[in-house]
Structure 1
Amino acid sequence: MNTHPATRSPARHLPLLLATLLAAAGCSLTPVYERPAVSTPAAFKEAEPAPATATSPHWKTATPAEHTHRGDWWTVFGDDTLNALQAEALAANQDLKVAVARLAQARALEGGTRAERLPQVDAGFGPTRQRPSPASQGLDADASTPTTTVWRAQASIGYEFDLFGRVAATVDAANASTQQNEALLRSVQLALQADVAQAYFLLRELDAEQALFGATVDLRGEALNLVQRRFEAGDIGELDVARARTELASAQSEAHGIARRRAATEHALASLLGKPPAEFSFAPQPLGRITVAVPAGLPSALLERRPDIAAAERAMAAANARIGVARAAFFPRLTLTGALGYESAELGDLLQWSSRTFLLGPLAGTVLSLPIFDGGRRQAELERSRAAWEEDVARYRQTVLTAFREVEDSLAAVRILGDQTQAQDTAVAAAERAAQLSQLQYREGAASFFEVIDADRSVLQQRRASVQLDGERARATVALIRALGGGWDTPPTLGHGPTPDAGLIARQH
C-alpha cells in the first residue's frame, strides 16, 4: 500500500484545520476604542466665582450617562403653568415621537445582530423531483437513470463560528448605535423642554409689553381729552392737540405690533405642544422679574452632561466597531450546518422509522469560505470605515467645541443681563422722576407740552426696555441650563437675586 504523504486523503488534515480555526475563534480585529482627546479648559471663562456654599451637600459634580433623564429642571422657576405645558409637550410633541420611533428601530436592529450569535433553526416539508446522473451512480455515460420523487420533513440548523470577531464587532456597532439614538432622544427631549420654556417666557414678556402699552394708550387718551378741552377753552394752541393725537396713535400702533408678535408666538407654542393653533389659547399673564442662579460647574463635567456630546461619542464607538467588521471580511468564515428528519419516495412512508435521515455539512456551498479576489471591494470597504471613523472623530470634537461656546455665550448673557437690568432699573427710576417734574412744570407754565410728551415717551421706552430685559434674562437662564445639559432633580431656592444654594444635581449612573 502506498502511504506517501502526497497520496493521503485530504480529509485527514481537516480536523487539524478545524482545530486551528476554532482556536482563532474569538479573536477580534476591532481596534481598541479610546475616546479622542479634546482640549478642556480648567474653568469657564465667563463663569462668576463659585459661591462659598458650592461645596455644601446640596452640590455635586454632574456625571449622568447618555440615557439618564435630564430631570424636571424647569421646576426651578416655580411656575405651575410652565410645569403643565412641559407635561403636555412631552406627551404630544411629534418631533419627540419621531426620536422615540428611531430609538425603537435601533433597538430592533441591535436585537437582529445579536441573533447572529445563536444557532439558526428552521423546519421544512415538501417533495423534490430529481434524476441522478449516470456518473454519480457509477454507470456508463449512456446509461439510463430513473427519475424519483423524494418527500422530506426535516429540521435544519446553522451556526457561524465567530472567527476573528466579525459577529461580535457587528453587535458592538449595533449596541453603540442604540446608545447613540438614546442620547439623541434625550437631546431632542432637552431641546423641546427648552423651546417650550423660552416660548412661554417670550409669550409672557409680550403680555407684559401689551399691558404696558394698554395702560399707555389709556393715559394718552385721557391726556388727549384734557388737551382737547384746554384747546377748546382757548388756553393752548392746536399744535399740542396734534402732538397728543400723534402720541396716542403711535402707542396704539405699537400695541397692534405686539399683538401680532404674540399671536405668532402663541401659535409656535401650540405646535410644540402637538396641537393646531386653533385648539390652543393662552390667557394673558404678564412676566415679572425672574432670577435663578445656575452654577456652571466644571468644563470636564460638560462632556458627560450634554446628550449631544454623548451621541457624538457613541457614533465614534460604532464607527470603530465597523472597522473590525471590515477587517474580518479579509479572513475565513466557518459555518456549520446540518439537517435531521425524514425522507422517503412515498408520502405515506415519510414518518416511518426507517425513513429517518440526517445531514452534517452545508446544504449548499462550503463549510469554510476563504476570500481570495474581489477586485478590491473589501479593501474599499475598510478604507470607507476608517474614513467614517475620522469623520465621527472630527464631528465629536466640533460638538464639544460648540458646547463650550454655547455655555460661555449663555454665562456671559446671564451675567451681563444681570448688570444691564440693574442699570435699566436706575434708568426707569430717573425717567419716571423726570416725567413727574415735567408735569409739575407744565401745570405751572414753566414747561411746554412737548417737554411733557418727551418725558412720557422716555418713561415708556425705559419701562419697555426693562420688560424686555426681564424676558431676555429668563430665556437666557433657560439657554444656560440647556447648554449645561439640563439635569435639575431638586429645585433650588428662588429669589430676585443670587441664589447661593442653587445647584445642578445629576442622577448617578
Structure 2
Amino acid sequence: MKAINMNSLLRPTRYLGIGSALLASLLILAGCSVAPTYERPAVDTPAAFKEAGPQVGENGSQWKAAQPSEDIARGEWWKIFGDDSLNALEDRAQQANQDLKAAAARLGQARALTKDARSGYFPQVDAGIGATRQRPSPASQGLPADANTQPFTLYRAQANISYEVDLFGRVASNVDAATADAQRSEALFHSVLLALQADVAQQYFLVRELDAALDLYTGTVKLRQESLRLVQRRFDEGDISEVDVARARSELASAQSEALGITRQRATAEHALAILLGSTPAEFALPARPLTRISLAVPSGLPSTLLERRPDIAAAERSMAAANARVGVAKSAFFPALNLTGGLGYESAQLGDLFNWSSRTFLLGPLVGTALSMPIFDGGRRQAGVDRARASYEEQVATYRGTVLNAFREVEDNLANLRILGDQSRAQDEAVAASVRAAKLSHTQYQEGAVSYFSVIDADRTVLQQQRASVTLDGERARSTVNLIRALGGGWGTAPAAATQLSSK
C-alpha cells in the first residue's frame, strides 16, 4: 500500500486559511478611512437682529414665517405683493432666463461627476477582440542564437476586469467630495434662482416707479400749459409784463424735458426687464401702471435660521465639506493601494478555432506592474498634496464665515432701510401736503394780484419736487422689501424644483 503524505493533504487547507486571512485583512482595511471627520465650524451668531422692528405693517398686513398663508405658494415669495403682473413675469423668467439655464446645466455637470466618482465602488469591465503578429526570439525559446523561429498570428477575444480595493478610503473620499460639490452646485442654482426672482421684482418696481413719475410729470405739463394760457391771456389784456410769459414758457419746457428724460429711463428699465425674461426688448412691452405704496412687514426671524435659509451660505458650507473630503484623498496617497485585474476569454493561432472550448484562457493579477503598491519616497510630493488640501479647507472655512457675516450685514442694512424709509415717507407726506397747500394759496394770491408770477412758479416747482421725492421713496421701499426677502433667503417654503426641470430641457 502506498503511504499517504499528510503534508500534501494539509497544504490546500493551509493555503485556504492563508487566503481567508488575507481576504479578511483586506476587508478590514477597506473599512478604514484616513479622511478627517467633518464638522461645521462655529460662527458667531447674534441672538436677534439689531434693526428688527415690529412685525406688523402700516396696513395691518403680516407675513408669518412659521405658518405661510394658504394663498401664497410655497417658495413663491413675490406673491405677497398681490400683483398679478409681477406673478406672471416671475413665472416667465424662471422658464426662459438664460443665466438660470446655465446654472441648471452646471448642476447637471456636478451630478454627473458624482456618478463618475461613485463608479469607483464597482469593478470596471471591458471586452475586446483583436490579433497580434509576432516572431519570438530564439533565446526566449531556449534555442541556439542562429536558430530559425517562425512568426505566428495569435487571435484574442477576452473580457478584462479591474477593481481598486478601497483600502484607506480614497474612493469613498472622492465620492464624498463629488457629492458635496453637487450639493454646492444645487445651492448655487437656488442662489441664482433667488437672485433672478429678486432682480425681476426690483426691475418691475423700478418700471412702476418711473410710470408713477411720468404720470406726475404728465400732470405737471398739463398744469404748466394751463398756466401759460392764463398768463398769455393776462399779458394780452395788459395786466402783466412779458417776463411772466417767458417764465411760464420756461417752466412748461422744463417739465416737458423732465417727462422725456423719465420716458428714456423707463425704456431702458423695460429693456433690462426683457433680458431677465429671456426675451429681446423688441418682443416685450409692459403697459404703464403707476406704482402704489407698498407697506409690508417681512419678519426677519432669528439670525440662526439665516444659516439654514440662505443658498449662498449653504453653498459655502458644502464647499467646506468637499475640501475636507479632499484632505482624505490626499492623505490616502501615503498608504498602500491594491488594484485587482484579470482577463477571461479565448485565444487561438487560427481564427476559426478562436471560440472553441479548448481555446479558453484567463489571467489573474496585474496586467502591468504590481497589484499592491506601497509609497516609499517621493521627495515630499504627497505631503505637499496634503498641505495644499488642508490650506484649501482653511480657505473655504474663512469664505464660509465671511459669507455668514455678509448675510447678517445685508439683513441689518435692509431692516434699517425699511424702518428709516417708513419714517421718511411719513415726513415726506407732510411735506407734500404743505407744499400743495402753499401752491394753492400762491395761485389765489396771484389771481388777486397780491404776489408776482415768480411766487406761483416757485410754489409749483416745490410741489413737483416734493411729489417726485415721495414717488422715489415709494420705489425705494418696494425695492428694499425685495432686498430684505432676498437677504433672508427667499420664501419660507421649499424651493421650487426648477433645477430638474431646466436641466432636462
TM-score (norm 1): 0.88
Quick one: distance in 1 between partners of 2:452 and 2:347? 114
What letter is aligned with 1:191? A
**Aligned partner of 1:48 among 35, 42, 53:** 53
Distance 1:142 1:13, change over 3 A: farther
Give 1:275's aligned residue: 279
Give 1:31's aligned residue: 36
1:167 is aligned to 2:193: no
Report how far residue 133 of structure 1 moved: 4.8
Give 1:407's aligned residue: 411
**Aligned partner of 1:105 among 102, 109, 113:** 109
Which of 270-279 and 181-190 deviates more?
270-279
Distance 1:245 1:506, change over 3 A: same
Give 1:118's aligned residue: 122
Give 2:466's aligned residue: 462
Distance 1:359 1:382, change over 3 A: same
What letter is aligned with 1:60? A
Quick one: distance in 1 between partners of 2:108 and 2:230? 69
- Percent sequence identity is 69
**Aligned partner of 1:472 among 455, 470, 476:** 476
Give 2:227's aligned residue: 223
Task: Give deviations 1:323-369, integer Å, cap 9, x for gaps.
Answer: 10011111111111111111111111111111111111112221112
Give 1:85's aligned residue: 89
Task: Give deviations 1:168-197, integer Å, cap 9, x for gaps.
Answer: 000000000000000000000000000000
Report how far residue 235 of structure 1 moved: 0.3
**Aligned partner of 1:348 among 352, 365, 373:** 352
Report how far residue 377 of structure 1 moved: 2.2
Give 1:378's aligned residue: 382
Distance 1:215 1:51, change over 3 A: closer
Give 2:180's aligned residue: 176
1:60 is aligned to 2:66: yes
Task: Give deviations 1:204-239, integer Å, cap 9, x for gaps.
Answer: 000000010011001101101110110111101111
Query: Tell me, what secondary structure is at the counterpart of 1:269?
Result: helix
Query: Tell me, what secondary structure is at the counterpart of 1:60?
Result: coil
- 2:55 touches 2:298 (CA, 8 Å); kept in 1? no
Give 1:212's aligned residue: 216
Give 2:322's aligned residue: 318
Task: Give deviations 1:292-337, integer Å, cap 9, x for gaps.
Answer: 1100000000000000000000001000000100111111111111
What letter is aligned with 2:29? A
Which of 366-375 and 275-284 deviates more?
366-375
Quick one: distance in 2 between partners of 1:136 and 1:397? 67
Give 1:249's aligned residue: 253
Quick one: distance in 2 between partners of 1:407 and 1:219? 43
Which of 159-168 and 133-142 deviates more?
133-142
Quick one: distance in 2 between partners of 1:190 and 1:104? 19
Aligned length, in residue pairs: 474
Quick one: distance in 2 between partners of 1:298 and 1:57? 15
What letter is aligned with 1:80? D
TM-score (norm 2): 0.89
Which of 363-372 and 306-315 deviates more?
363-372
Quick one: distance in 2 between partners of 1:177 and 1:449? 71
**Aligned partner of 1:239 among 243, 248, 254:** 243
Quick one: distance in 2 between partners of 1:277 and 1:46? 40
Give 1:194's aligned residue: 198
Give 1:158's aligned residue: 162
Give 2:299's aligned residue: 295
Give 1:203's aligned residue: 207
Quick one: distance in 1 between partners of 2:121 and 2:495? 37
Task: Give deviations 1:43-62, integer Å, cap 9, x for gaps.
Answer: 0010014569xxx9954299
What letter is aligned with 1:291? S
What letter is aligned with 1:241? V
Query: Tell me, what secondary structure is at the counterpart of 1:371?
Result: coil
- 2:110 touches 2:185 (CA, 8 Å); kept in 1? yes
- 2:342 touches 2:363 (CA, 8 Å); kept in 1? yes
Quick one: distance in 2 between partners of 1:198 and 1:147? 80
Report how far residue 22 of structure 1 moved: 3.9
Quick one: distance in 2 between partners of 1:70 and 1:129? 69
Quick one: distance in 1 between partners of 2:16 and 2:356? 35
Give 2:12's aligned residue: none
Quick one: distance in 2 between partners of 1:44 and 1:72? 24
**Aligned partner of 1:486 among 481, 484, 490:** 490
Quick one: distance in 1 between partners of 2:234 and 2:165? 102
- 2:190 touches 2:495 (CA, 8 Å); kept in 1? no
Quick one: distance in 2 between partners of 1:242 and 1:290? 40
Report how far residue 114 of structure 1 moved: 0.5
Quick one: distance in 2 between partners of 1:133 and 1:369? 32
What letter is aligned with 1:40? T
Distance 1:237 1:309, change over 3 A: same
**1:313-462 superposed matches below 5 A:** 313-462=317-466
Report how far residue 29 of structure 1 moved: 1.0
Quick one: distance in 1 between partners of 2:213 and 2:77? 27
Quick one: distance in 2 between partners of 1:438 and 1:95? 55
- 1:28 touches 1:324 (CA, 8 Å); kept in 2? yes
Query: Tell me, what secondary structure is at the counterpart of 1:156?
Result: strand
